[in-house]
A and B are shown apart, each in its own frame.
Chain A
């Protein structure tokens, strides 16, 4: 054990204020409608597509991304096989990743994507375009409800809300910084 550890812990113990109670966070309710979720996600640069039946996923993706050559997915027959040990060079070639989301959050358009659903941790950001597929019955109102549904966050997991973006040059919003240039959410 390092001495800095002891030093920091001792100083924290000696200098900390009197303990106050940890508040209970209420649920707050809120609007968990598909309409709200779609409106918010569109406002942050995402695109939402409805399919009546998840079996249509293949043709729908084909239609959305006719030029995508190298597609990775665990939902329909893909052209590149990506797994946890795929080397960087292989990942760098992926044009499109189609992955299942677990929870949608209506108030901010975020979709929970756990490690188990992403083939490789880097895939959702290294791919040029990202499609997330979500069951509309898994939409909740707020982040409180989303976290309440997560038993834990696994080894890695992310809430993804729209495509990668930046406003670092004179506050002009540019979609497609380092991560996926576009995000399409397929709802069923």
Chain B
């Protein structure tokens, strides 16, 4: 199903669409405030981009360095070429310990690999512990945003979910009380868990350590209580030096939610005495993206979500309309690399306004890449016939001043004379489904100009 069709279900509820739009715009405004407070913010973006660019240019060497340092620290390092291997490695570690109770902190990579269903299918209880993640896990939904996984839900929705699953009072949708209920429920899970799985925000080649950033402290609580910690990391999470964290920690939270930094920025370098730390290094299509010069910059992404908060299409269509682990503008670049056919409509889910590129803390040229994907898709014959022919026709039409002038005249007269039912017939003019056509001007610019010059 295309993005626009899925988005149609979301926008059918006009009030909710408006609310979603305003909520995310509010987050974008908080980001602006936080960013303007840092005089060197633009310099930091440039540095972050250069550090990531450099790392990609030596990726194999940094991976080896990271592995060697991590092993020296007593960390078990695993390599997974794809999602299936990632899931098998993790299941295997859990089984070797005869464990069945797992807590997980937020990780888009484990989402990407569909780890939860894999573990559940093998009789392992896996509990998401980030509040937003837990809410959608109870509702059996996917996250709709990178940083705010339950941003599509209203507090009434959460209240109903908690009433059903956690026994909170019916009709109670006070965020404070719901959070307290989740705290109590999850605390029992944290205390009982034998294994904790986490994502990775940054992996430092120099130290062999991984860094995890959260506001709730759920990663630290889970990981530091369990006997075994498994950290799942994409190969693009590497940075060369510990000091590079100075750049990225100043950018991440400010870009994401407008906070000066996340509450917890935790550095895991060695396992605690008598405990285990495993790092699973995952490719799953990333080296392929690395080999596409036009799109490899997408691997610099630090998953802050700023591009979605600012995107006029994302804000009004909701994260689920992208039907991909990473939604929004960056997801629309990453997804065709994974499955060109399935995600062929995503690079079109953009106005190409460039706002995503403007806010990206690592300076990914997001809108340019979206435009390039459109060309790749057209070449591969992956755009709908109607769009293809109408674009071809438009191309010719706009290239000919004569045809353009005549067409304008016809349109101006046509719009005046033709019945509304015909000009707005949804089958003929899908553009007018949710829009009014403009009032036709009496004359074109060219006619006005010709007359003005004469006078």
Contacts and interface: CB of A to CB of B under 8 A. Distances in A.
Contacts of A84: 272-273
B371 interface: no
Interface string A102-130: 00010111100000000011101110000
Contact of B79 (A2, A85, A156, A169): A2
Interface in B142-161: 148-151, 153-155, 158
Contacts of B259: 44
A16 B217 contact: no
B261 A108 contact: yes
B267 interface: yes
A163 B179 CA distance: 14
Contacts of A13: 59-60
Chain A's interface: helix, strand, loop or mixed, by majority?
loop
Interface stretch (B94-102, B238-246, B317-325): B238-246
A50 B225 CA distance: 33
Interface in B113-165: 129-132, 135, 148-151, 153-155, 158
Contacts of B260: 40, 44, 107-109, 161
Given A153-B242, A159-B264, A165 B273 contact: no
Q: How large is the interface on A (under 10, 10 to 19, 20 to 34, 35 or more residues)?
A: 35 or more
Interface stretch (A19-27, A60-68, A74-82): A19-27
A179 to B, nearest CB: 3
B337 interface: no
B175 A170 contact: yes
A163 B264 CA distance: 9
Interface residues of B, number: 93
B314 interface: no
Nearest to B282: A8
Contacts of A172: 155, 175-176
Contact of A153 (B26, B148, B207): B207
A120 B291 CA distance: 44
Contacts, number: 263
A109 B249 CA distance: 13
B183 interface: yes
B40 interface: yes
Interface in A123-163: 124-126, 142-148, 150, 152-163
Interface string A7-19: 1111111111111
B164 to A, nearest CB: 16
Nearest to A16: B59
Interface of A: 2, 4-5, 7-23, 25-26, 28, 40, 44, 84-85, 88-89, 91-92, 105, 107-110, 120-122, 124-126, 142-148, 150, 152-172, 174, 176-180
Given A166-B179, A171-B26, A179-B218, 4 more contacts: A121-B220, A153-B207, A171-B151, A179-B217
Nearest first, the 6 A-B pairs at minimum CB distance are: A179-B217, A15-B291, A11-B287, A108-B260, A168-B132, A155-B270
Interface of B: 23, 26-27, 38, 40, 43, 47, 50-51, 53-54, 56-60, 63-64, 73, 78-81, 85, 129-132, 135, 148-151, 153-155, 158, 175-176, 178-180, 182-183, 186-187, 190-191, 207, 209, 215-218, 220-221, 224-225, 235, 240, 242-247, 249-250, 257, 259-274, 281, 283, 287-288, 290-291, 293, 296
